[in-house]
Amino acid sequence: MTRERQLVETFVEVADTLVDDFDVIDFLLTLAGRCVRLLDVDAAGIMLIDQRGHLHAAAASTESARLVELFELQTDAGPCIDCCRTGTPVVNADLGANAGRWPQFAEAARDSGFVAVHALPLRLRENVIGALNLFSAESRVLTEDDVRAGQALADVATIGILAQRSLHQAELLAAQLQSALNSRIVIEQAKGVLAERHRISVDEAFALLREHARHRNLRLSDLARDVAERSAAAAELWRA
């Protein structure tokens, strides 16, 4: 399948998920997975920036603790925060050459086996609400076409985060962002509950949570809340 074809299919697929009452984190997880395939990178994450300028990982192509840590490290210095501050893409940043610019981040990313990093802004008019963060394990240069496709995917992520309501004011933007960030926290809490309950890693706990939501056709955030609150609705997962 050509990439154009894959892109079209991805847009059709995500448009289908943007129905009433869709689950924003689940949507972003799907999108992060598609980014890896479509842009031929090795990891992708969708980062949101809160009112204090802290970066939060809303979704990643691989939900590994190590990768999430790499995302979060960038609150101090890194391509994501640069991208959020300037609203412009950071593309093909070589992690060796940029060791001086983001020393801590570059070292951690290299330790994880990455050699290049990219960040594309999640933009809504004059606001930047986050970035699409892409990692490559090989030195493959993102072409202009790749960047265009990546920016389109980043725009889709923005639409998904804000789509639950039409947006005319900064106020609604803040409300939607806050809501997405809080959904993510519920998922982290539920991961912890399941990890301890079943003596598994938090990464395994996430896989368990997501798989169960898919099989039972539940919204990921709803299931996570039920697990976190130990409500009867999640008893099956609690005992599993």
What residue type is 238 in one-letter code? Answer: W
Q: Is there binding between residue 176 and other proteins (CB under 8 A)?
A: yes
Q: Is there binding between residue 212 and other proteins (CB under 8 A)?
A: no
Q: Is there binding between residue 57 and other proteins (CB under 8 A)?
A: yes
Residue 159 vs 195, nearer CB to other proteins: 195
Q: In DSSP terms, which residues pair with 59 in a beta bridge?
A: 46
**What's the rounded Cα separation, in Å, for the pair 113 and 132?**
19
Q: How far is the CB of 24 from other proteins (least distance, A)?
A: 11
Q: Is there binding between residue 219 and other proteins (CB under 8 A)?
A: no
Q: Is there binding between residue 193 and other proteins (CB under 8 A)?
A: yes
User: Given candidates 170, 211, 235, 236, which one binds other proteins under the rule CB under 8 A?
Assistant: 170
User: Given candidates 41, 91, 128, 186, which one binds other proteins under the rule CB under 8 A?
Assistant: 186
Q: Enter the tokens of residue 29.
A: 């997880």
Number of residues that bind other proteins (CB under 8 A): 39
Q: Is there binding between residue 137 and other proteins (CB under 8 A)?
A: no
Q: Enter the tokens of residue 63.
A: 């939900």
CA atoms within 13 A on the CB side of 215: 8
User: Given candidates 65, 141, 235, 240, which one binds other proteins under the rule CB under 8 A?
Assistant: 65
**What's the rounded Cα separation, in Å, for the pair 232 and 95?**
48
Write the CB contacts of 223 (distance below 8 Å, at least 6 apart in sequence): 190, 209, 212, 213, 216, 234, 237
Q: How far is the CB of 153 from other proteins (least distance, A)?
A: 23
Residues in the chain: 240
**What's the rounded Cα separation, in Å, for the pair 225 and 109?**
32
Report DSSP state, residue 168: -
CA-closest candidate to residue 70, choices 108, 34, 100, 101: 108
Residue 10 vs 74, nearer CB to other proteins: 74
Q: Is there binding between residue 202 and other proteins (CB under 8 A)?
A: yes
User: Given candidates 2, 51, 166, 217, which one binds other proteins under the rule CB under 8 A?
Assistant: 51
Residue 197 vs 219, nearer CB to other proteins: 197
Percent of residues in the chain assigned helix, strand, coil, to nearest 5 = 60, 15, 25
- Which of the ranges 37-45, 50-58, 80-88, 93-101 carries the binding residues for other proteins, by CB under 8 A? 50-58
**Which residue matches tokens 């074809």?**
5
User: Given candidates 194, 208, 213, 234, which one binds other proteins under the rule CB under 8 A?
Assistant: 194
Contact footprint for other proteins (CB under 8 A): 50-52, 54, 56-57, 65, 68, 72, 75, 169-172, 174-176, 178-179, 181-182, 184-186, 188-197, 202, 224-225, 228-229
